């Protein structure tokens, strides 16, 4: 019988790509999502892309904080592991509405962990973030680099990491992998799945994509006076399909009896500046992206990229794609779905 994996936040940008990879890999995927920042159309498209494995996807519109609903789900089905993406992720919004972030991300996670424990499901892969490295003094960041949070969103990630460590200390039968990943971009090569943020995009590439399709006039570049090659911020961009493969590798690792509570970076190990990324997107799309130079965005790090050695060594995983493929696939998605999942049904 195939393994059944519960994916919280599975209708979202990253979750949808992982759900597809799970189905293609022969897993059963059960998605829990409240659809606050996603569309059910993504799930329909995943089923189509998964072909004969499509029926192995089921969806439950549940908010993670709804404990009775979660209880009912766990009582009806046995899960081999949980991949946990569900959460709010906009840094600026978390500064304005900290309680909303602590409520959703912390209470959602604690409720999930309680229900998992009650049903004897003790394997978890959690979406942490490279944001926990703050403004690093030394790059690349390794899993041992100092951590700090610059905003409530980042603090929810740090707190959840600590909760997971405490849980494992209290009961060593838990197996938990904390994945700190860097800046996911790109889309499934079919162009059927991709990032579709609500409102004004916070992140670089969704904004660039909306400029390219004519929804916004120009990209505001936050900071041109950093001590980097061209003065703009440097990040470790990773193709979302590589990230999905990293999750499958983490899932396999959860079956290794030696695993306790482990943290892994998922990145490419390479730093790319904002202007380099824009140039790569212009090349892939053939569209000019007008730029407006602006001051630094509060809370942004100058240079953030990660060491990939631990994931390569212990998960046997390495990112395959570079920024050309990321921009090619992102443009494929954007040009086919200029208004995201609302473009078509």
Q: Which residues are catalytic?
A: 153
- Asked if residues 217 and 289 have their Cβ atoms less than 8 Å apart, the reply is no
If the CB atoms of residues 108 and 136 are measured against ligand NAD, the closer one turns out to be 108
Only one residue has tokens 């800046």, namely 183
Asked if residue 268 binds ligand UFG (CB under 6 A), the reply is: no
Asked if residue 89 binds ligand UFG (CB under 6 A), the reply is: yes
Asked if residue 344 binds ligand UFG (CB under 6 A), the reply is: no
To ligand UFG, the closest distance from the beta carbon of 277 in angstroms equals 8
- Asked if residues 141 and 307 have their Cβ atoms less than 8 Å apart, the reply is yes
The sheet with strand 234-235 has its strands ordered as 272-273, 234-235, 303-304
To ligand UFG, the closest distance from the beta carbon of 181 in angstroms equals 7
* Footprint of ligand UFG on 30-59 (CB under 6 A): none
Q: How far apart are CA 269 and CA 63, in angstroms?
A: 35
If the CB atoms of residues 169 and 218 are measured against ligand UFG, the closer one turns out to be 218
- Asked if residues 201 and 208 have their Cβ atoms less than 8 Å apart, the reply is no
* Footprint of ligand UFG on 190-219 (CB under 6 A): 202-204, 207, 219
Residue number of the CB atom closest to ligand NAD: 12
**In degrees to the nearest 10, what's the CA dihedral of 166, 171, 173, 177?**
0
To ligand NAD, the closest distance from the beta carbon of 131 in angstroms equals 7
Single out the residue of 121, 163, 131, 152 nearest to residue 32, CA to CA. 121
Among 15, 87, 194, 233, which residue interacts with ligand UFG (rule: CB under 6 A)? 233
Distance of CA 324 to the CA centre of its chain: 20
To ligand UFG, the closest distance from the beta carbon of 223 in angstroms equals 6
User: Any idea what the Cα angle at residue 91 is, between residues 86 and 93, rounded to 5°?
Assistant: 90
To ligand UFG, the closest distance from the beta carbon of 304 in angstroms equals 6
If the CB atoms of residues 14 and 23 are measured against ligand UFG, the closer one turns out to be 14
Asked if residue 159 binds ligand UFG (CB under 6 A), the reply is: no
Only one residue has tokens 């990032």, namely 195
Contact residues for 246 (Cβ-Cβ < 8 A; gap 6+): 179, 181, 264, 266, 311, 315, 317, 319
Asked if residue 274 binds ligand UFG (CB under 6 A), the reply is: yes
**Residues near ligand NAD (CB under 6 A):** 9, 11-15, 33-38, 63-65, 85-89, 104, 108, 127, 129, 181, 183-184, 203
Binding-site partner at residue 332 among ligand NAD, ligand UFG, none, CB < 5 to 8 Å by type: none
To ligand NAD, the closest distance from the beta carbon of 169 in angstroms equals 23
Residue number of the CB atom closest to ligand UFG: 233
Binding site for ligand UFG (CB under 6 A): 89, 91, 129-131, 182-183, 202-204, 207, 219-223, 233, 235, 274, 297, 300, 304
């Amino acid at each position: 019988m195939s393994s059944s994996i519960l994916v919280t936040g599975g209708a979202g940008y990253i979750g949808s790509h992982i759900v597809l990879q799970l189905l293609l890999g022969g897993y059963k995927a059960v998605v829990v999502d409240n659809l606050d920042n996603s569309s059910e159309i993504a799930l329909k498209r995943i089923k189509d892309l998964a072909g004969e494995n499509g029926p192995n996807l089921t969806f439950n519109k549940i908010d993670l904080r709804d404990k009775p609903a979660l209880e009912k789900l766990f009582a009806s089905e046995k899960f081999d592991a949980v991949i946990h993406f569900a959460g709010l992720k906009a840094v600026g919004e978390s500064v304005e509405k900290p309680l909303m972030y602590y409520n959703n991300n912390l209470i959602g996670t604690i409720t999930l962990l309680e229900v998992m424990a009650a049903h004897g499901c003790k394997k978890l892969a959690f979406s942490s973030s490279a944001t926990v490295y703050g403004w690093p003094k030394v790059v690349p960041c390794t899993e041992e680099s100092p951590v700090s949070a610059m905003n409530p969103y980042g603090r929810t990630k740090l707190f959840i990491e600590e909760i997971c460590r405490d849980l494992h200390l209290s009961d060593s039968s838990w197996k938990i992998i904390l994945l700190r990943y860097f800046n996911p971009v790109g889309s499934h090569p079919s162009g059927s799945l991709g990032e579709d943020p609500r409102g004004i995009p916070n992140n670089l590439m969704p904004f660039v994509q909306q400029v390219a399709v004519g929804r916004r006039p120009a990209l505001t570049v936050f900071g041109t006076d950093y001590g980097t090659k061209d003065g703009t911020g440097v990040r470790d961009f990773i193709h979302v399909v590589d990230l999905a493969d990293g999750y499958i590798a983490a899932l396999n690792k959860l079956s290794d009896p030696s695993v306790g509570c482990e943290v892994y970076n998922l990145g490419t190990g390479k730093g790319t500046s904002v202007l380099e990324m824009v140039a790569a997107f212009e090349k892939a799309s053939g569209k000019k992206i007008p730029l407006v130079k602006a001051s630094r965005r509060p809370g942004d790090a100058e240079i953030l990229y990660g060491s990939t050695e631990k994931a390569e060594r212990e998960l046997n995983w390495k990112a395959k794609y570079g920024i050309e493929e990321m921009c090619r696939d992102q443009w494929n998605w954007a040009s086919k779905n200029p208004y995201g999942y609302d473009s078509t049904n």
